[in-house]
Chains A and B, each alone.
Chain A
Amino acid sequence: SQTIHQWPATLVQPVGSPLSLECTVEGTSNPNLYWYRQAAGRGLQLLFYSVGIGQISSEVPQNLSASRPQDRQFILSSKKLLLSDSGFYLCAWSRADSNTGELFFGEGSRLTVL
């Protein structure tokens, strides 16, 4: 069966510090991978998605970046965090050949920037 894990689950970082959130998928090959941010009272905001190693599409210009160094690994990074980066970050995957595009989400990472 397929599983997805992301970490850390929670972190508190000072403004200007770097960020690294990691996500891995097991039990499937060549998944589509996604990073979302969820702010209170708002819909999920797609930040990045990837259809293959080294292929990253950015949906929202900001001080975040994403990388996919391996087929089932997706990393969200920042060199200098802003207060506005606080939120609940969700990694997700979908089957590349799916005709429904159903998403499977990781556990989520709650980031607080102080």
Chain B
Amino acid sequence: GQNIDQPTEMTATEGAIVQINCTYQTSGFNGLFWYQQHAGEAPTFLSYNVLDGLEEKGRFSSFLSRSKGYSYLLLKELQMKDSASYLCAVMDSNYQLIWGAGTKLIIKP
């Protein structure tokens, strides 16, 4: 079966750096997405990786290793507004998105 694994919850301190990992097992691979979702709101797009390596976008970076079935989202200079759930999703060979359950990130002052 297809599976996306990410930690359920993480806690970090304001101003620090946090890395959220995602491992996947899917039938084929056509890209990996990270979305941010604040409580009670819709997910919003953060990043897309289809080739190995690091993609940097401001305070957020996303890394992909296709051979290891692994990605991480790196958040730097954490702010209180970064408290949210972070969803990892992989597009399989049929171009269907397989979603992880999300990682709830709690930022403490």
Contacts and interface: CB of A to CB of B under 8 A. Distances in A.
A14 interface: no
Contacts of B35: 103
Nearest to B50: A100
Contacts of B33: 102-103
Given A41-B101, A105-B44, A46 B8 contact: no
Contact of B42 (A41, A46, A108): A108
A44 interface: yes
Given A42-B101, A43-B4, A100 B31 contact: yes
Given A102-B33, A105-B44, A107-B41, A43 B99 contact: yes
Contact count band on A: 10 to 19
A31 interface: no
A44 B87 CA distance: 9
Given A100-B31, A101-B95, A43 B42 contact: no
A81 interface: no
Contact count band on B: 20 to 34
Contacts of B100: 43
Instruction: Find the residue from A103, A108, A110 having the highest chain B CB count within 10 A.
Output: A103
A100 B31 CA distance: 7
Contacts of A42: 101
A100 B43 CA distance: 16
A41 B87 contact: no
A43 B44 contact: no
Contacts of B96: 46
A102 B50 CA distance: 12
Contacts of B31: 100-101
Given A41-B8, A44-B97, 6 more contacts: A43-B87, A101-B30, A101-B91, A101-B95, A105-B42, A105-B43
